[in-house]
Chain A
Amino acid sequence: MGSTFRDRTAEFHSLSQTLKKIGAAIPSVHQAESDPTSSKRSSPPGSSRSEFNKKASQIGLRIHETSQKTARLSKLAKESSIFNDRTLEIQELTVLIRNDITGLNMALSDLQTLQNMEIADGSYSHDKVGHYTAVCDDLKTRLMGATKQFQDVLTARSENMKAHENRKQLFSAKNAAVDNQNNAKAVPEPPPWSSSSTPSGSLQQQPLLPPVNSGAPSGSQLRRRSAIENAPSQQMEMSMLQQTVPRQESYSQNRAVALHSVESTITELSGIFTHLATMVTQQGELAIRIDDNMDESLVNVEGARSALLQHLTRISSNRWLMIKIFAVIILFLIVFLFFVA
């Protein structure tokens, strides 16, 4: 349909007037003229149309409001620093915007159903349908743009928070290192410290500043550097103090952990020893079996040996017997011969 809207309301008005005068048939209310911005039209025939338009205009307004809120939220999120983060405000705004967007989504879907109803009516005009679709699409694109903005703002805020966390961690981890560096630089001359060596070294730093600048045994450059760094180091020192207590705890925790590990190692060792003992007993049985087998085979071999020896003796003794038998046979022969001859 194009975006060139031609406002022909005036022409239509004059036409209706003339027709009325003529008294001809009431002009059918063809919205042939492209007249999309006719929210002024409050006449009944366009009741559904004006309803649609009212809704559309409402939605447009709400989208505009939402995008304004998103812009404010983005400004807040960018502005917040580590020490001044308006988390509450930001969260409230986020919730508000989210609700708005969900409401808008619902309203837009209502609008779409309206449009579909109109189409399903049967008696519709192409221009009307075109108008409806154009308005719906426009609103949808605007809503999408607003949601995208909102999402961008949320990502930016989360990145911001991450950066803050990193910076905080940097500070807390480097506390000891930075602090000791400051200490090393701020102790060129111990004697000028007339104040007591209390744990709060920050208190010492302040009386250090005036007397330090007076005397100058070693490099004055060192002093100047220490004077400059004293102010930011105070904060570090206080937080370093807070770290001594957890270090104390971590020391004892360390010992406890080491003891636990030693204990577990010892139990492991006992397990290994029992395992070893079972294996050795099992193998002891095997050894006994082997022993029995060997004894058995020894007995067998001994028996076989004795049998063979018997055999041998019998054979050898048999020969002796054979000689005896032969001798007896020869004797018989001689006796026979004696008898015959």
Chain B
Amino acid sequence: MKITALLVLKAAPETTDPVILSNASDVSHFGYFQRSSVKEFVVFVGRTVASRTPPSQRQSVQHEEYKVHAYNRNGLCAVGFMDDHYPVRSAFSLLNQVIDEYQKSFGETWRSAKEDSSQPWPYLADALTKFQDPAEADKLLKIQRELDETKIILHKTIDSVLARGEKLDSLVEKSSDLSMASQMFYKQAKKTNSCCTIL
């Protein structure tokens, strides 16, 4: 489950094609010679998908072995390249976060961008590495995962409590035997005590 690339584009309907505002890709698992072509491919497919995504809509397109998810919000479009196993929902929540972050950090300056900006945005690169695990991106997934772990722990607790119950049961029996024995002992002692007073 990995993310190959994250792009932020400006997809205004008037201009011809989307302008890339930020790009972060992880091509480490490709061979050295394929890396540049993969980057080009990412750029082009990202542009196409962003241009085809209508505003305030989400889209997922299957391309070869990647799923390309795109979310367009009022002209600002975030595109992510993930593999098939990455859950769709966390992908879109990730894109949401990216867009929010971008708007917070850059405000409205992106609207005037006309060319592909090449300055890297560190948040995007961090996001790429951080969100390789889909649970980070999607709170729901995280919650579900933690709940499942808690459930497992609780099951174990219940098992150990049952064992404790059994041990307590045995302890009760033993203590009752002990009290019986001590009673007998007391009676015996009193008996021996009472009879031979003269001697």
Tell yes or no: B74 within 8 A of A by CB: no
Query: In the bound complex, how far is the Cα of B60 from the Cα of A248, in angstroms?
Result: 10
Query: DSSP class of B's interface residues: helix, strand, loop or mixed?
Result: helix
List of A residues within 8 angstroms of B14 by Cβ: 196
A311 touching B189 by the CB < 8 A rule?
A: yes
B178 touching A304 by the CB < 8 A rule?
A: no
Q: How far, in Å, is B178 (CB) from chain A's closest CB?
A: 5
List of B residues within 8 angstroms of A214 by Cβ: none
Tell yes or no: A287 within 8 A of B by CB: yes
B165 touching A279 by the CB < 8 A rule?
A: yes
Q: How far, in Å, is B177 (CB) from chain A's closest CB?
A: 9
In the complex formed, the residue of A with least CB distance to B92 is A251
Stretch at the interface among A19-27, A87-95, A129-137, A254-262: A254-262
Binary contact track B169-195/A, C-beta < 8 Å → 1, others 0: 101100110110111011011101100
Contact of A272 among B151, B169, B192 (CB under 8 A): B151
List of A residues within 8 angstroms of B1 by Cβ: none
Known: A251-B92, A279-B165, A289-B172. A262 touches B59 (CB 8 A): no
A197 touching B51 by the CB < 8 A rule?
A: yes
Tell yes or no: A307 within 8 A of B by CB: yes
Contact of A290 among B13, B16, B88, B168 (CB under 8 A): B168
Tell yes or no: B129 within 8 A of A by CB: no
Contact of B165 among A179, A187, A247, A283 (CB under 8 A): A283
Query: In the bound complex, how far is the Cα of B161 from the Cα of A187, in angstroms?
Result: 65
Known: A197-B51, A258-B89. A190 touches B16 (CB 8 A): yes
Binary contact track A238-264/B, C-beta < 8 Å → 1, others 0: 000000100110010011001101100
List of A residues within 8 angstroms of B158 by Cβ: 272, 275-276, 279
Tell yes or no: B48 within 8 A of A by CB: yes
List of A residues within 8 angstroms of B179 by Cβ: 293-294, 296-297, 300
Tell yes or no: B61 within 8 A of A by CB: yes
Q: Which of B3-31 contact A (CB under 8 A)?
A: 11, 13-18
List of B residues within 8 angstroms of A300 by Cβ: 179, 182-183, 185-186
Binary contact track A170-181/B, C-beta < 8 Å → 1, others 0: 000000110111
Contact of A262 among B11, B92, B140, B154 (CB under 8 A): B140
Query: In the bound complex, how far is the Cα of B39 from the Cα of A128, in angstroms?
Result: 93
Tell yes or no: A78 within 8 A of B by CB: no
Query: In the bound complex, how far is the Cα of B61 from the Cα of A201, in angstroms?
Result: 14
In the complex formed, the residue of A with least CB distance to B11 is A197
Tell yes or no: B36 within 8 A of A by CB: no
Query: In the bound complex, how far is the Cα of B59 from the Cα of A251, in angstroms?
Result: 10
- The contact size tier of chain A is 35 or more
In the complex formed, the residue of B with least CB distance to A273 is B154
Q: How far, in Å, is B42 (CB) from chain A's closest CB?
A: 11
Tell yes or no: A144 within 8 A of B by CB: no
Tell yes or no: B2 within 8 A of A by CB: no
Contact of A287 among B54, B148, B168 (CB under 8 A): B168
Tell yes or no: B45 within 8 A of A by CB: yes
List of B residues within 8 angstroms of A197 by Cβ: 11, 13, 15-18, 51-52
List of A residues within 8 angstroms of B147 by Cβ: 262, 265-266, 269
Query: In the bound complex, how far is the Cα of B15 from the Cα of A194, in angstroms?
Result: 9
A187 touching B57 by the CB < 8 A rule?
A: no
Tell yes or no: A328 within 8 A of B by CB: no
List of A residues within 8 angstroms of B47 by Cβ: 187, 190
Q: Which of B47-73 contact A (CB under 8 A)?
A: 47-49, 51-52, 54, 57-63, 68
A286 touching B172 by the CB < 8 A rule?
A: yes
Query: In the bound complex, how far is the Cα of B186 from the Cα of A298, in angstroms?
Result: 11
Would you list 16 pairs from A and B whose C-beta atoms are within 8 A, ordered by A residue? A177-B63, A187-B44, A193-B16, A199-B54, A258-B140, A262-B144, A262-B147, A265-B147, A272-B155, A283-B165, A294-B179, A304-B186, A304-B189, A308-B192, A311-B189, A311-B192
Chain B interfacial positions (CB closer than 8 Å to A): 11, 13-18, 41, 44-45, 47-49, 51-52, 54, 57-63, 68, 88-89, 92, 140-141, 143-144, 147-148, 150-151, 154-155, 157-158, 161-162, 164-165, 168-169, 171-172, 175-176, 178-179, 181-183, 185-186, 188-190, 192-193, 197-199
Closest 8 CB pairs of A and B: A300-B182, A293-B175, A297-B179, A304-B186, A307-B189, A190-B17, A297-B182, A197-B51
Name 4 extra pairs, CB < 8 A, besides A283-B165, A296-B179.
A180-B45, A183-B48, A247-B59, A279-B158
